[in-house]
Amino acid sequence: MYSKISESPIFRGINAGEVAHILNLVHHQIKTYEPETIIAYSGDECINLYILIEGSVRGEAVDLKGKVIKIEDINAPDTFAEAFLFADENNLLVNIVTNTKTKILIIYKNDLLQLFKSNKKILENYLNITSNRFVLVTKKLKFLSLKTIKVKLVNYILGLERKNEGKQHFLIDKTQEQLAEYFGVTRPSLARALGEMKDEGLIEIKRKEIKILDRNSLVRMLRT
Amino acid sequence: MYSKISESPIFRGINAGEVAHILNLVHHQIKTYEPETIIAYSGDECINLYILIEGSVRGEAVDLKGKVIKIEDINAPDTFAEAFLFADENNLLVNIVTNTKTKILIIYKNDLLQLFKSNKKILENYLNITSNRFVLVTKKLKFLSLKTIKVKLVNYILGLERKNEGKQHFLIDKTQEQLAEYFGVTRPSLARALGEMKDEGLIEIKRKEIKILDRNSLVRMLRT
């Protein structure tokens, strides 16, 4: 079992023998769950680090009508719910349900702190995992922000097109500064969104004149 | 000076005397910068924790035309760039520029690990700060996702309205499942977006019939 545990990112660089020794010194639990067992509920305070030793779990949200929707699968030997373990608001946002028969190593956060103290590699691995998760979420946020600006631009451009019915080219009635302010975004973000839309062959801009090159793709952007 | 340093969130619960003692045992730098000095460049690897002792800095992005845009101010006694210090991709996304005369405590990340080892409170504070930052970014992402779904819905609803010119009520031509799939979002997210739009008095939905209650607000949502 310890060789499986040692494959988890949190124990990277630590061999099975060392893992056995380390876990001997700190309180932990190893639990086995049958398939389709709810092991934690949305809203529960997240006070444990969960390390999947065997099997697979999923995050599940429940909609207003009580219908259950899968959000994400997590497979051994990954950890889960680790990134907000030490936050002031540390409530789970989803139910955690087993997909298969699942074996999980559970370490209470105060014991994890003890582990961090006794083993520098575990601390570094934890910091690396959570930092990477932070970078990932920040990138997603940046991507979605950019996409949101593009959708605003498409709405604006199609609105201009309706006002200028029949014309191939039409005038943008605002400067980039004014547009950025109108959309409530920064100018570099707006410029980047416009630049990408030009590069993707959706529109052509010459000074203040705009021409729609790929109307179908623009319309599709309003929904996907 | 140590009393100022002890006010930083990273030293919460540690008094000035202890801070002086702790810093004596670990390598660190205290640097003073004149106003309007660039202390780190976008793209630089972030390998130090920066703790503002006095003064204020700002994050600055540079747009395609070289124009500089302020992103955020950070004031003493806060830390900055701490959340991706241990990530694989740890490059700064902005320039860091001093607003005022600024004094900064700089701790290299390996020395910070040393501090974590020697003082449990510092580690706990760091984990708390970065976990909270993670929760904040995750919430922003969730908010923006929901807003994005609402914008998609507005586009769809206004499109229906155009197809049903002159009618007060019109039929939604898709089930919620179909709509969610059409937008590429989960059904609970879609239901939440629809629910909020009803609560805000923008639309009325009865079974599959929809009525626009506040057209102006809907149109405004397409740009802000």
Per-residue CA distances from B216 to A88, A98, A211, B124 (Å): 39, 47, 27, 49
| A141, A143, A145, A148 alpha-carbon torsion, rounded to 10° | -130
Task: Give me the CATH topology for the region A143-221.
Answer: Arc Repressor Mutant, subunit A (1.10.10)
Contact B87 A138 (CB under 8 A): no
Q: Which of A47, A135, A150 to probe the B interface (max B CBs under 10 A)?
A: A135
Q: What is the pLDDT of residues B84-104, one digit of tens each?
A: 899 999 988 888 999 999 999
Span B150-160, average pLDDT? 87
Is B188 in contact with A64 (Cβ distance < 8 A)? yes
Of the pLDDT bands very low, low, confident and very high (cuts 50, 70, 90), residue B163 is confident
Q: Examine the pLDDT at A128 and tell me if it is beyond 80.
A: yes
Degrees (nearest 5) of the Cα angle A136, A139, A142?
155
Question: pLDDT digit string (tens) for A68-107?
Answer: 667 788 999 999 888 889 999 998 888 899 999 999 999 9
Query: Which residues 1-60 in chain B show a CB within 8 A of chain A?
Result: none
- Any A CB within 8 A of B162 CB: no
Does this complex have an ipTM over 0.90?
no
Q: Among the listed ranges A62-66, B98-102, B161-165, which one has the minimum average pLDDT value?
A: A62-66
d(CA B125, CA B12): 7
Q: Return the CATH architecture of domain B142-221.
A: Orthogonal Bundle (1.10)
Q: Nearest chain A Cα to B46, which residue?
A: A131
- pLDDT the model gives residue A10: 95
3-state secondary structure chain A: CHHHHCCCHHHCCCCHHHHHHHHHCCCCEEEEECCCCEEECCCCECCEEEEEEECEEEEEEECCCCCEEEEEEEECCCEECCCCCCCCCCECCCEEEECCCEEEEEEEHHHHHHHHHHCHHHHHHHHHHHHHHHHHHHHHHHHHHHHHHHHHHHHHHHHHHHHCCCCCEEECCCCHHHHHHHHCCCHHHHHHHHHHHHHCCCEEEECCEEEECCHHHHHHHCCC
Q: CB distance from A220 to chain B under 8 Å?
A: no
Q: Does the domain made of B2-118 have the CATH classification 3.40.50.10440?
A: no
Distance in angstroms (rounded) separating the CA atoms of residues B116 and B108: 12
Greatest mean pLDDT among A141-145, A163-167, B42-46 lies in: B42-46
Nearest by CB: B184 against A151, A182, A224: A224
Cβ distance A186 to B155 less than 8 Å, yes or no, reads no
CA distance B138 to chain A (A): 7
pLDDT reading at B66 higher than 70: no
Q: Whole-model pTM?
A: 0.79
Mean pLDDT on B198-205: 90
What residues of chain A lie within 8 A of the CB of B83, using their CB?
131, 134
| 8 Å CB contact of B84 and A137 | no
Q: Which pLDDT does position B65 carry in this prediction?
A: 56
pLDDT beyond 90 at A141 = no
Domain boundaries, chain B: 2-118, 142-221
Closest partner CB to A89 (pick from B69, B130, B135): B135
Q: B90, B126, B159, B100: which is closest to B12 by C-alpha?
A: B126
- What mean pLDDT is reported for chain A? 88
pLDDT digits (tens, 9 = 90+) for A187-221: 878 888 888 899 999 999 888 889 999 988 888 88
B105-140, pLDDT tens digit by residue?
Answer: 999 999 999 999 889 999 999 999 999 989 888 888
pLDDT score recorded for residue B124:
95
A178 confidence band (pLDDT: 50, 70, 90) = confident
B134/A130 Cβ within 8 A: yes
Mean pLDDT (whole number) for B137-163: 85
Please say if the pLDDT value at position A66 is more than 70. Answer: no
Per CB-CB distance under 8 Å, the chain A contacts of B120 are 113, 117
Domain A2-132: CATH superfamily, name plus number = Jelly Rolls (2.60.120.10)
Within an 8 Å CB–CB cutoff, is residue A62 touching chain B? yes
Q: Is B191 on the interface with A (CB under 8 A)?
A: yes
Q: Is the pLDDT of residue A64 over 80?
A: no
Residue in the block written with tokens 């799939």: B181
Flag whether pLDDT at A65 surpasses 60. Answer: no
* Binding-face residues of A in 132-151 toward B, CB within 8 A: 132-135, 137-138, 140-141, 144-145, 147-148, 151
Does B158 touch chain A if contact means CB atoms closer than 8 Å? Answer: no
Interface contact flag, A155 B152, Cβ < 8 Å: no
CB contact under 8 A, A188 and B145: no
Nearest to B127 by CA among A115, A30, A207: A115
